[in-house]
């Protein structure tokens, strides 16, 4: 059981890490090193020997191994990222990098995504050092750079260049799972992530005939691009159920006493009410236009127009995604992957999933644990190159009215202290049993 010092430290560490500005704007100017050094120092104080690794100066990762009691057991990767997305101070109630602790809440960028989990990991490992606890299996602890952009300086670099540090790891846990979801009807759900949609960020390029804006032009690149973007934005992707999402729908339907008609997915979602939010973004592929760039003068028709689309595809459905984009863009617009990462599917019948479920149920017996597929992506994608199966497990017990999903990349990001305490207790319980 987590002791008081661990509960105090998780709040202190979350606040301290928030105060270290690790904003990642995607242009390579982020500096995770101060946060990496902070985390490494806390690990070293617990008797571990952390290694600091950089592909690019200042883009620092931390890796340490905590040896387990069973040398024959497969190792478990426990990872969190150190970088955060930008925040504009004028939009916030408190300064986003203040780490202010007020009214039972820790405020600041990274409070949920995901310096809270980094702090939980540190707090648990340090308590174990005080108590002389060793887990059954080796734990490889990794704090990564660059997750909020390409991960090239973070988990991608580690997976490609430092495979040996993850020797024996077959499974991993990280962000976005085991949080409280209030369904509006008095029930608490705890989604455990066992899958991620793949990332397909697309660059669309339309080419045409440049010319004067006053002349007839049947080969206008802007028009061609606009038509393709309109088709993509209006397209209704058909439902495609992965094992995780299928299981989620069946369990949710049973919870609410609804017949799980999987041949009418949208109708079933309507019957689930607010709980549908847990699965509605992962029953199909998606492609959302996000950026446009064309022209340089109002009376000049440009010869090229460019757009970007945030595409996501379900495990097993990347080929369908590609074929559909070929049809939607048509003959006059070319598309390519600006950034691509695989979709992930993790088994729901594994001992690790069962232990995560048991840990949540011990400290939230009133809750209902349900399977969950993430609509976006995490560092688990890069670590999957090493054969590591990834789960989303950042336990937080949240009060009703707290919009967890809105905290990700949102204004006034914050996390309740009690949620951090719950997270430490559950993480401690799971890792001891893992």
> pLDDT tens across 61-117, in order?
999 999 999 999 999 999 999 999 999 999 999 999 999 999 999 999 999 999 999
On whether the CB atoms of residues 322 and 217 are closer than 8 A, the answer is: no
**pLDDT confidence of 393, banded at 50, 70, 90?**
very high
| pLDDT tens column, 315-351 | 999 999 999 999 999 999 999 999 999 999 999 999 9
Q: Give how far Cα 290 sits from Cα of 28, 199, 233, 422, Å.
A: 21, 14, 10, 37
Dihedral over Cα of 121, 124, 129, 135: its sign: negative
pLDDT of residue 44: 98
Across the range 298-314, mean pLDDT stands at 98
Q: Is residue 2 scored above 90 in pLDDT?
A: no
Domain ranges of the chain: 4-176+378-433, 198-341
Give me the active site residues, please.
Answer: 83, 147
Across the range 287-303, mean pLDDT stands at 97
d(CA 292, CA 208): 16
pLDDT of residue 405: 87
Q: Is the peptide bond before 106 cis (omega within 30 degrees of 0)?
A: no
Across the range 234-247, mean pLDDT stands at 98
d(CA 272, CA 279): 10
Across the range 168-175, mean pLDDT stands at 97
d(CA 242, CA 344): 10
Three-state SS at 345: strand
Q: Is residue 352 scored above 80 in pLDDT?
A: yes
DSSP 8-state secondary structure symbol assigned to residue 419 = H
Look up tokens 């209902």; give the residue.
368
Neighbouring residues of 3: CB distance < 8 A, sequence distance ≥ 6:
127, 130, 131
| pLDDT tens column, 46-63 | 999 999 999 999 999 999
The whole-chain average pLDDT of the chain stands at 97
On whether the CB atoms of residues 2 and 424 are closer than 8 A, the answer is: yes
Q: Is residue 314 scored above 80 in pLDDT?
A: yes
Across the range 398-418, mean pLDDT stands at 94
What architecture does CATH give domain 4-176+378-433? 3-Layer(aba) Sandwich (3.40)
**CB neighbours of residue 361 within 10 Å:** 15
**pLDDT confidence of 129, banded at 50, 70, 90?**
very high
- pTM greater than 0.85 (yes/no): yes
Do 4-176+378-433 and 198-341 have matching folds?
no
**CB neighbours of residue 172 within 10 Å:** 26
| pLDDT tens column, 241-255 | 999 999 999 999 999
pLDDT of residue 47: 98
CATH class of 198-341: alpha beta
Across the range 147-171, mean pLDDT stands at 97
Tell me the sheet residues that pair with 294. Answer: 305
On whether the CB atoms of residues 393 and 381 are closer than 8 A, the answer is: no
d(CA 135, CA 428): 10
Q: How many helices (H) and strands (E) in the chain? A: 12, 19
**pLDDT confidence of 222, banded at 50, 70, 90?**
very high
DSSP 8-state secondary structure symbol assigned to residue 379 = T
pLDDT of residue 1: 73
In the chain, the percentage of residues whose pLDDT exceeds 90 is 97
| pLDDT tens column, 11-43 | 999 999 999 999 999 989 999 999 999 999 999
């Amino acid at each position: 059981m987590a002791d008081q010092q661990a509960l105090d430290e998780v709040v202190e560490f979350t606040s301290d890490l928030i105060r270290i500005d690790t904003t990642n704007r995607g242009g390579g100017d982020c500096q995770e090193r101060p946060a990496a050094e902070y985390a490494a120092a806390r690990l070293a104080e617990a008797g571990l020997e952390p290694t600091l690794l950089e592909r690019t100066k200042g883009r620092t990762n931390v890796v340490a191994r905590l040896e387990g009691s069973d040398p024959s057991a497969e190792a478990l990767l426990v990872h969190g990222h150190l970088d955060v997305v930008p925040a504009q101070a004028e939009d916030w109630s408190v300064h986003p990098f203040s780490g202010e602790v007020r009214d039972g809440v820790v405020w600041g960028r990274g409070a949920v995504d995901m310096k809270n989990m980094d702090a939980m990991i540190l707090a648990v490992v340090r308590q174990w050092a005080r108590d002389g606890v060793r887990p059954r299996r080796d734990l490889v602890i990794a704090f990564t750079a660059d997750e909020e952009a390409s991960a090239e300086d973070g988990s991608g670099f580690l997976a490609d260049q430092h495979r040996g540090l993850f020797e024996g790891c077959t499974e991993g846990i990280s962000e976005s799972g085991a949080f409280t979801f209030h369904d509006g009807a008095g029930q608490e759900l705890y989604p455990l992530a066992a899958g991620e949609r793949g990332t397909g960020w697309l660059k669309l390029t339309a080419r045409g005939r440049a010319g004067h804006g006053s002349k007839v032009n049947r080969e206008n690149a802007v028009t061609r691009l606009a038509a393709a973007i309109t088709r993509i934005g209006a397209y209704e992707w058909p439902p495609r159920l992965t094992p995780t999402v299928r299981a989620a729908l069946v369990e949710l339907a049973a919870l609410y006493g609804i017949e799980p008609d999987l041949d009418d997915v949208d109708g079933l979602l309507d019957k689930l009410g607010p709980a549908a939010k847990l699965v509605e973004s992962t029953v199909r592929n998606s492609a959302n236009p996000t950026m446009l760039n064309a022209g340089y003068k109002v009376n000049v028709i440009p010869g090229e127009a460019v757009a970007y689309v945030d595409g996501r595809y379900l495990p097993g459905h990347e080929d369908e995604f590609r074929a559909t984009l070929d049809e939607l863009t048509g003959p006059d617009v070319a598309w390519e992957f600006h950034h691509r990462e695989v979709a992930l599917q993790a088994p729901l019948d594994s001992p690790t999933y069962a232990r995560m479920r048991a840990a949540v149920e011990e400290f939230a017996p009133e809750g209902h644990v349900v399977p969950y597929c993430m609509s976006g992506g995490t560092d688990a994608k890069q670590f999957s190159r090493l054969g590591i199966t990834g789960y989303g497990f950042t336990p937080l017990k949240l009060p009703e009215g707290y919009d967890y999903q809105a905290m990700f990349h949102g204004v006034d990001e914050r996390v309740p202290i009690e949620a951090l305490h719950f997270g430490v207790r559950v993480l401690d319980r799971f890792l001891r049993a893992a």
